[in-house]
Structure 1
Amino acid sequence: MPMEPNVAVLVDCENAQSAVLDRAMQHATTLGRVALRRAYGNAASLTNKWQDGLIRHGFAPCLQFQYVGGKNTADIALALDALEMLLDRRADQFVIVTSDSDFVGLCRKLQERGAGVHVFGEAKTPAALRHACDRFHEAAPQTIDAPRAMPVAVEDKATNPVKRRPRFVVEAVRVLASSAADGRVDLGALGNHLRQTHAGFTHAANGYKNLRSMLEAYDLLCIHQDDRGHCRVGLASAVPPAAPILRAV
């Protein structure tokens, strides 16, 4: 049996938004085993907006001092580590979170050596970096889902628990289903993915008796059940019209 690819997630904390980290990690898990997680920056960038997310996802912070004003030592440290990971065969796939065009050369070199390169950057990311990787993901963490997919709290009765619909569930379906021919992901695989990428996630903690009932509360998701009772989940807009589906209410 072929070994699962090792994935390295490298974050340029001085040239990226911390809100995109969850999405980058979700995508990384679809590429293989996330074996290396490192974040680069100075003391201010690592401890301000990035700290909570880096701790939650188990990143190793790589603190860089600026020996001369105006010089970005974090970029050099990230590039050196990436090449070392590739040459040591510790990583086959790279997810780089940055909007800095200085990494164009690194992306090209990694590709030349046979590695897959995925970049998560902001709308301002130059075209050179967008085209220097296998796939570019534009970071838009505040607008990726319609308003109804935002976290919502609903009290059906005074005795019932509060029911929530976290937005990251829709994004997880979007990422996992994108690589499937039918645009859907197995219900069990989705549950495992959510527990791995969001510590403490359970359907009960969000007020539902099971994962299926939770997913049925989303207008943006559709559940398809075959004759044997096997369930797969996809985005409502991505489900073929002719397919028998159970639409969320």
Structure 2
Amino acid sequence: MADGDNRRLAVLIDADNAQPAIVEGLLAEIAKYGTAHVKRIYGDWTLPNLGGWKDTLLRYSIQPIQQFRYTKGKNATDGAMMIDAMDLLYTGNYEGFCIVSSDSDFTRLASRLRESGTVVYGFGEKKTPEPFVAACDKFVFTELLREDDDGEPPQRKSAKELKRDTKLVHLLRLAVDAEADDGGWAGLGAVGSTIAKRAPEFDSRNYGYAKLSGLVKAIQLFDVDERLIGEGPHKALYIRDKKAVGT
């Protein structure tokens, strides 16, 4: 399987549960995880509510897939996406799937894809039901990706506000404890990987910090140590829970 930027990805977008304003940020985000070899968006393009997508699809070479609504109240788009996802999976050409929707109907699809050894990245609004979020390896809230006036980044939270977030504090401390050496120090990269496994929706940007390192420093619950890697100029960040060492 390919790693990192070499991962071949299939991007499947539910037009009924996504907005054109996220696309630029979405594709930039996806580029962090691999290369989008397939970009498809599903919906009933005969309906006027999807008309705003036209220019965006042309600009970013996203293939629209027509799916008529044969029965009122039934979402045929979901079924078409699921069938295509499984067809793409069986080709064996893709190491990862990006499912763009806030619909819980894709929970089982995400689980099934992961069972087959592929990585699943989910993208949806903060209203996305927790089961779908938890079924993905990584989940990014699309509010962070919008390019219009509604897409302003979250306000940076202060140390006091961060410490009040008991779920965040618990998550960080558990991850540090899981990766700590005998002296209590844990590499930030390893900590980040552990957090991602336990909380797919975690993203330091939701707290107003571009990187995990900024969030960890801001919360003021951890000692921070920058260490040189070998004899080169590169440094690695290590952190230690102040509570664990009584500082």
Compared CA separation, residues 46 and 87, structure 1 to 2 (3 A): farther
Structure 2 counterpart of 1:144, one-letter code:
P
Query: 2:110 maps to which residue?
Result: 107
Query: 2:152 maps to which residue?
Result: 143
Query: How far, CA to CA, are the matches of 1:17 and 1:114 in structure 2?
Result: 29
Query: 2:84 maps to which residue?
Result: 81
Supply the RMSD in Å over aligned alpha carbons.
3.3
Partner of 1:87, secondary structure, is: helix
* 2:77 matches 1:68: no
Partner of 1:30, secondary structure, is: coil
What do residues 55-111 of structure 1 show as CA deviations (whole Å, max 9, x unaligned)? 211011001111111111111110111111111112211111100000001000000
Query: How far, CA to CA, are the matches of 2:48 and 2:86 in structure 1?
Result: 23
Query: 2:123 maps to which residue?
Result: 120
Query: How far, CA to CA, are the matches of 1:133 and 1:2 in structure 2?
Result: 18
1:59 to 59, 62, 68: 62
Query: 2:38 maps to which residue?
Result: 36
Partner of 1:106, secondary structure, is: helix
Asked if the contact 2:2–2:95 (Cα under 8 Å) also holds between the matched residues in 1, the reply is no
2:14 to 9, 12, 15: 12
**Deviation, structure 1 residue 125:** 0.7
Greater helix content? 2
**Deviation, structure 1 residue 143:** 2.1
Structure 2 counterpart of 1:134, one-letter code:
D
Query: How far, CA to CA, are the matches of 1:77 and 1:124 in structure 2?
Result: 23
Query: How far, CA to CA, are the matches of 2:73 and 2:50 in structure 1?
Result: 20
Structure 1 counterpart of 2:37, one-letter code:
A
What do residues 109-148 of structure 1 show as CA deviations (whole Å, max 9, x unaligned)? 00000111111111211111111101111121212277xx
Query: How far, CA to CA, are the matches of 1:45 and 1:71 in structure 2?
Result: 18
Query: How far, CA to CA, are the matches of 2:59 and 2:213 in structure 1?
Result: 30
What do residues 173-225 of structure 1 show as CA deviations (whole Å, max 9, x unaligned)? xxxxxxx95xxxxxxxxxxxxxxxxxxxxxxxxxxxxxxxxxxxxxx999xxx
Shift >6 Å, 4+ stretches: 238-243
Structure 1 counterpart of 2:20, one-letter code:
S
Partner of 2:127, secondary structure, is: coil
What are structure 1's unaligned runs of at least 5 residues? 147-179, 182-219, 223-233, 244-249
Structure 1 counterpart of 2:43, one-letter code:
G
Compared CA separation, residues 113 and 65, structure 1 to 2 (3 A): same
TM-score normalised according to structure 1 size: 0.57
**Deviation, structure 1 residue 17:** 2.3
**Deviation, structure 1 residue 2:** 6.0
Asked if the contact 1:13–1:46 (Cα under 8 Å) also holds between the matched residues in 2, the reply is no
Query: How far, CA to CA, are the matches of 1:23 and 1:39 in structure 2?
Result: 16
Structure 1 counterpart of 2:9, one-letter code:
V
Query: How far, CA to CA, are the matches of 2:68 and 2:37 in structure 1?
Result: 26
What are structure 2's unaligned runs of at least 5 residues? 156-187, 190-207, 218-223, 228-247
Aligned-pair identity in percent equals 33
Alignment: residue pair count: 163
Query: 1:132 maps to which residue?
Result: 135
Partner of 1:70, secondary structure, is: coil
Query: How far, CA to CA, are the matches of 1:77 and 1:2 in structure 2?
Result: 27
